Structure 1
């Protein structure tokens, strides 16, 4: 877990929804994405309770175990004690809220609005996921409150006050790897359930938990081995950029980029201002509302888009790919190839994991 966090601990999910014994002691799981976008566990702890003091101890101990290396972003549920502790221990990192838990809380507090064919959940999800612009979000939120006459709802008021932690137009400012939920992977949930027998004592629990980690490690190494044996299928074999990245990215990540690459066929230039030193384009997308502004420097090939997909996930968007195509840029510049998504990083990680494993066997 220490090695995994060293390589992949830039974005972390903290899930505290597990309980392990009759006293309902919460099990906290720190997890994230590896270079295959697979779920990987960074740490786990049993808490006595869910107070600010306990969460403060949890965060401090986690950092101590990982040599004070802090993530850039952490996702949690909507627990106020946890949020307070996180702000005290790691005030500089971005704190995002799990959208799944947020939606469940919304149903709990506003369940009467979801009955009889109501579109409330759809409208609420649109505010959460479907709006990129902050002004448009504020307008949609006002319409939502008016349409359902919920101006005085205290849960909505408190949720709106922390909108920077969950609304897409605000979270796009943070590096998230595309993570939105603490329920990072169904595989982690199913794995953990194996050792969740409430009759187990602490020693038995962690023995079972260690076996879960060993099984998960085996599957990770198998995925790494299989990724080395073949290159992913190209949807456009004549593309120099796709050929380039199929050999650099891990297969899962390459397929995500390839989806964006294919989407650029459905984009078009609505407006352009090709005045040195910075060219500017307004890009539209067929069958999709909205427009995106792309800036391009022809001398450095630096590019940026208002959707901020690269800043969030480390992968370029279809709008940027469209402008590269217009400017006849056929190979992706190195500064837009994030190391954490590459096969090269996988080789390094794989080598260290096996060296560590072999050393334990010898000892």
Structure 2
């Protein structure tokens, strides 16, 4: 790919920031490569010096800071400002998880001393990343969403689950809670009442969602950038084909596929609620009624964003840098058929899916013209893949030991 097709301001650095300890984060490596290949000095907050992000040759400097999510948010902002004051210039801040995005939006006025950030209502990202706020906005704007309930006690937990029907989906309701007081490790599909009662200790810490059976569902991804004037460009769409854990976890294999109707729907929602900046939306197509239902709205760059780019080499992270440095975002056409794979997780997912994909009702795919974007492996940046292999193997050994 010729990165000269998109000219970024190389005098403005970028700082990648996330909260919590999960060193194998493919979105951070993708952002370092995207900006670094375009000549932007990229800095990153990392858990330690031996993470895939920290070992990328495209990284200008790593800032070792092992956060947990249990810290006082004001203290996190103070530390972030101390890092910012050591940078050579005001930097584009790139949050790569929900907690970092919420922190940046809420403290935008303070962080503006050292960082460039989108202008957005400071409360809006929390209202979108939080499941109750998102569900209420979907209802208010006529956007389909899975039926959702928020039990306040054990009696409501059982009653709401019976009302929604089994299997039922259980989730932590808000970003910070997933780090501080998680009830489930992630999105969990519970088969029956006995399993639900055994799993959930505190009903106040979860939400319940109706489950669209996987044989009647397709999982779609939308990544976009909402500019200050409300225009969403670029808007990318793709289909999740495998995930880990199966059918309910992070994307391990996906493909960029044009879906103009879904792109327009996502852009309309962002304009209606006044959203600005990068966003990662998860939609579940219910083949029984033909409706796309909004499952998640992540107010930040998505982990698999490098699956998407235009014919001019533009992705969401580059759009963010262009916009915040006062440069126009060039128009372009999504590269169709481009594939994405998270290698360390897709091996297990491939076995679980028995070599198939989770896209029922899909008759076929366009020819592979967009190429393959591995999360870790890159010929011009080999160390992140090597570090990932070592750390993933160590994690697997520890789990087997337990």
- TM-score, length basis structure 1: 0.29
The structure where strand makes up a greater share of residues is: 2
- TM-score, length basis structure 2: 0.27
